[in-house]
Amino acid sequence: SAEPFPIPVANMPKKVLLVLTSVDKYPDGSPTGWYLPEAVHPYQKFVDAGFEVEWASITGTASCDPSSIDASKEDKICMDFWNDAKMKALTEKQMRLADADPAAYDAVFFAGGFGVMWDFPESKAAQDIIKTMYKVSIKARLLATRALLEQVPLLLP
């Protein structure tokens, strides 16, 4: 079946920054974080299309939501990624988003998860990179999850 949003490789950038939430607990103290398929599936699509992907998070630390690992047990792409120590290590240590140079990236992708509701909207670094990416190109070349678009009302001027 056809992909709902095919990636036109010839017209796309070659370096993507994939951003994870740094929030690892709900306000009640129970665990959360970035959601496994919401980072792994886009990562795999980018890599398969020839993109270089670098990882960042708001504070430089990020945890995968344990419930997303359990919910993805039947998802081969997620489990292959998660059970490969080298791949999993990509998500265990990232640069702080504030340290990322927007000029080094052709696109930025904010992965989903419940934690994003607490740190993405208020993050000056997230706001700055979004604004910079938008200003760099009329088309914005900004890839974002629906959650981010709903949570950060100041994306566009």
28 in Cβ contact with 99 (< 8 Å)? no
Q: What is the pLDDT of residue 61?
A: 94
Q: What is the pLDDT of residue 11?
A: 54
Residue 34 burial by Cβ neighbours in a 10 Å radius (0-12, 13-18, 19+): buried
At 82-140, the pLDDT tens digits run 999 999 999 988 999 999 998 889 889 999 888 888 999 999 999 999 888 877 664 44
pTM of the predicted protein model: 0.78
Residues 6+ apart with CB under 8 A from 5: none
